[in-house]
Amino acid sequence: MTVVDTAETTVAADGAGRPPGPAGKPVPLGLGLLAAVLAGLTLLVSFPPYGLWWAAPVGVALLTVAVHRRRMRAGFGLGVIAGLALFLPMLSWTNLYTGQLPWLLLSGLQACYLGLLGGAVAATSRLVDRVRWSWPLVTGVLWVAQEALRDRTPFGGFPWGRLAFSQGDSPLLRLATLGGAPLVTFGVALAGGLLVTAVWRPWRAAGAGGWARAAGFVAGAAAVSVLGLLLPVGIAGAGAGTATVAIVQGNVPRMGLDFNAQRQAVLENHVSATIDLAGQVATGAARQPDLVVWPENASDVDPVRNEEAGRRISDAADAINAPILVGAVLLGPGEGQVRNAGLVWLPKTGVDQSQLYVKRHPVPFAEYVPLRSIARKVSKEVDRVRNDFVAGSEPGVLRVGGVSLGDVICFEVAYDEVVRDTVTNGAQVLVVQTNNATFNEAEAEQQLAMVRLRAVEHGREALMASTVGVSGFVGADGRVTGATGFNTEAVVTREMHLGDARTVATRVGLWPEMALLAMAVAALVAAALIRRRSLPGDGTATAGDPADAEER
């Protein structure tokens, strides 16, 4: 009898369908489409501003249900659908002032990575059906592999929407202290894999033993989700002294892409707020800070070259009698080039040229335009970026008044190695300078969630200073204090503990991610070998697998 291999079933010549060995049948296509859409939406609500962290494993499980036992191209398509349901609303802040095309292109690109994930999950169907205990593990490592690729490609990647960044209020956040964001993502996806292992079985024929096994898998998912409670956090960030730090959120006259056309007013806002703080210190209404932090783009007038801008910053530093970490745009080093920088401004003496950090990971198509002539044909909006920002080469470790700051600027907080480099080079606290004036509150809250993970990952207290909000302090245990409102002026002062010890995650760096990637490659190779052996070669189909019998 001739056998024809299809995506869902092996169909005999008489037209009767039966499961092709361990591959079996997927859910009906209509249910698969629904599951893919629900997967994206469920993942969405796990992130700020919704913050339903427990929804992330459910989203992972729904995507797996949608693509399991399908062809790779069908898995890719359903993964893209899930990705669009996730990224279109999540990244909607990118279209507030630039039009819809950049938003659609970015969301579509990110969705394609979930498409690749969907194809990979579909490709491993035979493996996990044969070796059922491996299903959660395979799910976990494939999600880590997808994020590793998305975090780095193209043009340095775009890590927004990593599963790890949805876990700010979850016990799983504590896994970051062992293996950073990749290990947290693995934990979330592992829990999702346990859920799908529980639900993927013919319940009417399962019997009491089947129900008991399913309950065990669900309990396992719950246990994974609370596993982090066993891990101590914050230890590395204690015992090395303290420093009183003030965040100045000066606000902007109006939101939008023309914030830099208001640059003199934005600078004046931050100067005035700092001088007001100095007045409160003089009356005893506020504590004297050891350091003041201004956000990214607080001075889009180069204060090193512009005498008036430099004088106003000196006025603020002299009034508060403390160093100010200024987020500034500096001209050069070449003609038509600029730098996004954090520089230290000292009272009485002015700028400290030895303490300067230049952003190492400028944002493509926002701070510089790759392939400008081609990009212009896609959207004229690229011409808003008149001068390309030049990337720095050194980690952002600034030594100010006996305190070593780990400075990262805006989206750099999403990149593992950029943050880790500051800690391995001696940073005692983490400082994230950002400008959210071209976005909205949801974007700011998503970014603050990244700061929370970094604080736990490296055992360092941290802060985020924004032009418009949300600004705030984060403890080494990931808890937020002093969070400001959005689109408002605010000044917040806190005592920060200086950390010197290193967490396991800081010490091991990329190795946990590399180990999980190796496991993902091994799973894909094993799945390919099983598929090759299962394909009909002599007119018969492989059958009789134990998992196949269970699904019947």
The residue written with tokens 């969630």 in the block is 449
Q: Counting beta carbons within 10 angstroms of the beta carbon of residue 416, is it exposed (0 to 12), middle (13 to 18) or buried (19 or more)?
A: buried
Q: Which of 22, 13, 60 is nearest to 39 (CA)?
A: 60
- β-strand 10-12 against 480-481: which pairing, if any? unpaired
Encoded tokens for 525: 């190779």
CB 12 within 8 A of CB 75: no
Which residues, including other chains, have CB under 8 Å from residue 179's CB and lie 6 or more apart?
A: 186, 504, 505, 508, 512, 513
- CA atoms within 13 Å, Cβ hemisphere of 13: 4
Q: Compute CA 80 distance to the chain's CA centroid, rounded to the nearest angstrom.
A: 19
CB 452 within 8 A of CB 168: yes
Q: Compute CA 141 distance to the chain's CA centroid, rounded to the nearest angstrom.
A: 17
Specify the DSSP element, H or E, that contains 350.
Answer: strand 350-358
CB 294 within 8 A of CB 326: yes
Encoded tokens for 48: 């700020």
Phi/psi for 337 (5° steps) reads -115, 150
Residue 390 DSSP symbol: P
Output helix, strand, coil percentages for the chain, rounded to the nearest 5: 50, 15, 30
Encoded tokens for 178: 């062992």
CA gyration radius for the chain? 26
Residue 248: strand pairing partners: 491
- β-strand 337-346 against 350-358: which pairing, if any? antiparallel
Which residues, including other chains, have CB under 8 Å from residue 401's CB and lie 6 or more apart?
A: 243, 290, 291, 322, 323
Among the listed residues 8, 147, 296, 367, the single catalytic one is 296
Rounded CA-CA distance 72/196 in Å is 19
CB 43 within 8 A of CB 86: yes
Which residues, including other chains, have CB under 8 Å from residue 230's CB and lie 6 or more apart?
A: none
Among the listed residues 147, 410, 412, 513, the single catalytic one is 410
**3-class SS at 337?**
strand
- Is 410 catalytic? The answer is yes
CB 132 within 8 A of CB 547: yes
- Is 296 catalytic? The answer is yes
Among the listed residues 359, 443, 445, 489, the single catalytic one is 359
- CA atoms within 13 Å, Cβ hemisphere of 312: 21
Sign of CA dihedral 134, 140, 143, 149: negative
**Preceding omega of 49 cis (within 30 degrees of 0):** yes
Q: Which residues are catalytic?
A: 296, 359, 410
